[in-house]
A and B are shown apart, each in its own frame.
Chain A
Amino acid sequence: MIDKKIIRTSIISVLIGITISILILMFFAKEPGSAALDFITGTFSSPFYFGTFLNAAVLLCIAALGETVSIKSGNLNLGGEGQIYAGGFAAALVFTLPVPSSVAFLLGFAAAALSGTLQTLLAAFIRQFKKANVLLTSFLISAAAIPVIDSLIAGKFRGKTGNLLATEFIPENLRLLPILKPSPLNISVFAVPFLCAVFHLFVQRTKTGRQLTIWGTAPEFARYCGYSEKKSLFFSLAVSGAMHGITGALAVCGTYFTCHSGFYAGMGWNALSCTLIAQSEPILIIPASLILSWLYTSANRVSLMQGLQFDISSLIQGIILFCISVNYIARKRST
């Protein structure tokens, strides 16, 4: 059961974050009134923005589901961005291999999941054998991976994409079917409710899921019960890395059709915020991702319309996460 008080504190913190974000936009906008109105309604004004908003929510959801599992087990995976990037890069390379499309599709997603998982498993390994905080090592691994991937994209694997630093475009038959042209929204949107339900059932109804949760909330009790810490650590981080990697693959075959330099920017941190707003509850990730996606799509839209030269999204990212940090404690108190 989800506590109503918890939902209320989540909503309040997000509302405060949104209010501060709108105030900042109004402060810098040439026409504050229309900017505020545009911020609220603009995303729903055209199929392009509406589809972009839903597509961003899909990507957020998938990555956030991975983050959910690691947070449930008490491990904060801060390397989401590097895992998403590695996943997208691996998928983009496999998708261009000269093999039948169905094989390439499956191999691409497997490679994406694996490339994310390898990063998180390394963090789990360091935690297990050196007791280093996953929070720190997952970030370090991701930060080390990003420039290497950048270098590979700009060098050996650069495709014929003009001025764009990107890999070769993937074949047409491997691109996910669009459902709201000209937006990037595609059929992956239908998989999200199913995945959220699967993760919800896994966490709530399976022995492994319950053990993970107990490790996250009461590690001493989990140890007393004889639950394997090693299994919980490695499993949760493997799932987290895999989901981030798959997010990268989805971004490549559904949105960009290539792996371009820096496509991951902000996705990892936004997925973390999404998970924290949803209180690591898989079902709540859907509304949380919709809210965050709307916020960022609107902010970018207004920023473009009002001619703001700076990246408003990253500012909002920080504000929202700060508001969530307040809510996080309120939630802990109420539980």
Chain B
Amino acid sequence: MNFILGTLAASAPLLLASMAALTSEFSGCMALFLDGLINLSAFLCFAFTTATHSLAAGIFLSVASSAFFIGIMVILIEKLNANKFLAALAINLLCTALSSTLSSILFGTRGVLTDPAFVFSAVQSRIFSTIAAYILAGVCWAFLTFTKSGLYIRISGNDSIVLRAKGTDVTKVRFLAWTTAAVLGSFAGSFLCIRISSFVPNISSGTGWTALAAVFLGKKNTAAVITAVLVFSAAQYGANNIQNIELFKNVPSAVLLSLPYLVALLLILIFPQFQRKKLH
């Protein structure tokens, strides 16, 4: 039971990031900006919460400013007709650099940030963020499945010609997809930050990249993506507790940092063949 609850709790940020990656993937662009965005939004959540002394305001302002930033970048990308892959990579680097720069300017350090106004109960924050993440993921799924805008997003990547023939502005659809991804990604960042009651540089620890791997494994199928997220999270939960097992107690903690990436690679090696056979 502990393992199931632990896995569900561990899956919350990754679930949101994966839904963000899925939304962006539908619109025809791999969300390579996600990892950086999670770092930036986590920092913004910390900064706004400590400034306003309100967690709700902190999360709201973090999500709003991250979505605004990505929205501006999408407009620039579309107006300048930039390469979306490279631009997304650039945004990823920019977001991480911005969180470090702002941290240095506002708090005088690029290291770990803590504040008495940013201390939450570990259990409560986990329960709150897990429930909120699953609700948000459900809302995103419903939006993509049952709304006209969601349908447009789903076909804008592969069949944008159909949308254009129908007279729909594909640029607006992509804008909607990227900003939706930004909203979900920044919730993931905020939740990561709240869970540890502090901001740690590179707090995402590859969550954005693991989300891309989950979308790859799920072959753009929401249920399969969620399954991949749960498998990743179970592996992550197991890895986090591996040092409690006598046999693995000497595993260096630095090696544990590489486990999310190793698990992603391992699952890519194991799963896709099976997925393809099932789909075709």
B1 contact set on A, CB distance < 8 A: none
Point out the residue from A28, A147, A315, A325 that lies within 8 Å of B82, measured CB to CB: A325
Taking the complex as formed, is B131 at the interface, i.e. its CB lies under 8 A from any CB of chain A?
no
Point out the residue from B90, B108, B209 that lies within 8 Å of A318, measured CB to CB: B90
A143 contact set on B, CB distance < 8 A: 206, 209, 258, 261
Alpha-carbon separation in the docked complex, A151 to B89 (Å): 27
B110 contact set on A, CB distance < 8 A: 309-311
A120 contact set on B, CB distance < 8 A: none
Interface size on A, residues (CB 8 A): 45
A309-B108, A311-B110, A319-B94 known; A325-B87 Cβ under 8 A: yes
Chain A at the B interface: mostly helix, strand, loop or mixed?
Answer: helix
B93 engages A147 (CB within 8 Å)? no
Point out the residue from B89, B100, B255, B268 that lies within 8 Å of A147, measured CB to CB: B255
B87 engages A310 (CB within 8 Å)? no
A314 engages B93 (CB within 8 Å)? yes
Alpha-carbon separation in the docked complex, A78 to B216 (Å): 17
B248 contact set on A, CB distance < 8 A: none
| Binary CB contact string for chain A from 315 to 335 against chain B (1 if under 8 A, 0 otherwise) | 101110110111011101000
Alpha-carbon separation in the docked complex, A322 to B192 (Å): 27
A322 contact set on B, CB distance < 8 A: 82, 86-87, 90-91, 94
Alpha-carbon separation in the docked complex, A91 to B264 (Å): 28
Alpha-carbon separation in the docked complex, A150 to B202 (Å): 16
Give the shortest distance, in Å, between B69 (CB) and chain A (any CB): 12
A269 engages B93 (CB within 8 Å)? yes
> Which of A315, A317, A326 has its CB near the most chain B CB atoms (within 10 A)?
A326
Q: Interface range on chain B: under 10, 10 to 19, 20 to 34, or 35 or more? A: 35 or more
A135-B30, A139-B209, A325-B90 known; A311-B265 Cβ under 8 A: no
B91 engages A140 (CB within 8 Å)? no
Taking the complex as formed, is B81 at the interface, i.e. its CB lies under 8 A from any CB of chain A?
yes
Taking the complex as formed, is B104 at the interface, i.e. its CB lies under 8 A from any CB of chain A?
yes
Alpha-carbon separation in the docked complex, A117 to B61 (Å): 45
Chain B at the A interface: mostly helix, strand, loop or mixed?
Answer: helix
A330 contact set on B, CB distance < 8 A: 81
A325 engages B83 (CB within 8 Å)? yes
Taking the complex as formed, is B101 at the interface, i.e. its CB lies under 8 A from any CB of chain A?
yes
A137 engages B268 (CB within 8 Å)? yes
A155 contact set on B, CB distance < 8 A: 252
A315 engages B94 (CB within 8 Å)? yes
Alpha-carbon separation in the docked complex, A76 to B272 (Å): 21
Within 8 A of B (CB), among A104-124: none
Q: How many A-B residue pairs have CB under 8 A?
A: 135
Give the shortest distance, in Å, between A283 (CB) and chain B (any CB): 22
A151 engages B254 (CB within 8 Å)? yes
Give the shortest distance, in Å, between B28 (CB) and chain A (any CB): 14
A144-B262, A310-B104 known; A136-B90 Cβ under 8 A: no
Give the shortest distance, in Å, between A157 (CB) and chain B (any CB): 12
Point out the residue from A131, A136, A276 that lies within 8 Å of B213, measured CB to CB: A136
Complex: chain A residue closest to B93, CB-CB: A318
Complex: chain A residue closest to B86, CB-CB: A325
Complex: chain B residue closest to A309, CB-CB: B104
Taking the complex as formed, is B155 at the interface, i.e. its CB lies under 8 A from any CB of chain A?
no
| Binary CB contact string for chain B from 100 to 123 against chain A (1 if under 8 A, 0 otherwise) | 110111001010000000000000
| Binary CB contact string for chain B from 220 to 260 against chain A (1 if under 8 A, 0 otherwise) | 00000000000000000000000000000000111111100
Alpha-carbon separation in the docked complex, A146 to B87 (Å): 25
Taking the complex as formed, is A181 at the interface, i.e. its CB lies under 8 A from any CB of chain B?
no
A147-B255, A148-B258, A321-B86 known; A311-B209 Cβ under 8 A: no
A132-B272, A314-B97 known; A329-B83 Cβ under 8 A: yes
Within 8 A of B (CB), among A147-164: 147-148, 150-151, 154-155
A311 engages B101 (CB within 8 Å)? yes
A137 engages B265 (CB within 8 Å)? yes
Complex: chain B residue closest to A312, CB-CB: B101
Complex: chain B residue closest to A76, CB-CB: B85
B276 contact set on A, CB distance < 8 A: 131
Alpha-carbon separation in the docked complex, A319 to B85 (Å): 15
A319 contact set on B, CB distance < 8 A: 90, 94
Alpha-carbon separation in the docked complex, A143 to B83 (Å): 24
B216 engages A132 (CB within 8 Å)? yes
Taking the complex as formed, is A207 at the interface, i.e. its CB lies under 8 A from any CB of chain B?
no
B265 engages A141 (CB within 8 Å)? yes
Alpha-carbon separation in the docked complex, A28 to B256 (Å): 38
Complex: chain B residue closest to A28, CB-CB: B105
B91 engages A329 (CB within 8 Å)? no
Give the shortest distance, in Å, between A14 (CB) and chain B (any CB): 14
Give the shortest distance, in Å, between A154 (CB) and chain B (any CB): 7
B86 engages A136 (CB within 8 Å)? no
* 16 A-B pairs with C-beta separation under 8 A: A136-B212, A140-B213, A140-B264, A141-B261, A143-B261, A146-B258, A148-B255, A151-B254, A311-B110, A317-B93, A318-B95, A321-B90, A322-B90, A322-B91, A326-B80, A326-B87
Counting from the closest, the 10 A-B pairs by CB-CB distance are A151-B254, A318-B94, A325-B86, A322-B90, A310-B104, A144-B261, A318-B93, A147-B257, A321-B90, A314-B97
- Known contacts A131-B276, A147-B254, A315-B97; 20 additional CB pairs below 8 A are A126-B269, A131-B272, A137-B265, A140-B261, A144-B261, A147-B256, A147-B258, A151-B252, A310-B105, A311-B97, A312-B101, A314-B93, A315-B101, A318-B93, A321-B90, A325-B90, A326-B80, A326-B83, A328-B86, A330-B81
Measuring CB to CB, which residues of chain B are less than 8 angstroms from any residue of chain A? 30, 32, 77, 80-87, 89-98, 100-101, 103-105, 108, 110, 206, 209, 212-213, 216, 252-258, 261-262, 264-265, 268-269, 272-273, 276
